[in-house]
Structure 1
Amino acid sequence: MFGYPMETIYIILLVVSGSLTFVYILLSDMLDGIFDVPDHPLLSPQLILSFLTVFSASGYLFEKYMSMSKGFIGLISAGIAFIIVLLLHFFVFIPLRSAEASLNYSEADLEGRIAKVIVTVPQDGFGEILIQGASGTISKPAKGVKNEEIPSGTEVIIVKMENGVATVAKHDPYYIPLQ
Structure 2
Amino acid sequence: MTLSDEDQKWAQKHWLNVPGPVYTGETDNCWTGRLAAPRHVLYGGEHQNEFVYRQPRTPAEFECVEAAAAEDPWGGYAFDGDTRWTPEAVRAWWDQRGEVEKHITELIETWSAEEHRLSHEAVEGARDFLAYLAGDLEADLRAYIFRLEKGRCPGAGDQLPDL
The reply to whether TM is greater than 0.5 is no
Looking at both structures, which has the greater relative contact order when contacts are Cα pairs under 8 Å and sequence separation is at least 6?
A: 2
Return the TM-score normalized by structure 2: 0.28
Structure 1 length as normaliser, TM-score?
0.26
Report which of the two has the higher share of strand: 1
Structure with max Cα Rg: 1
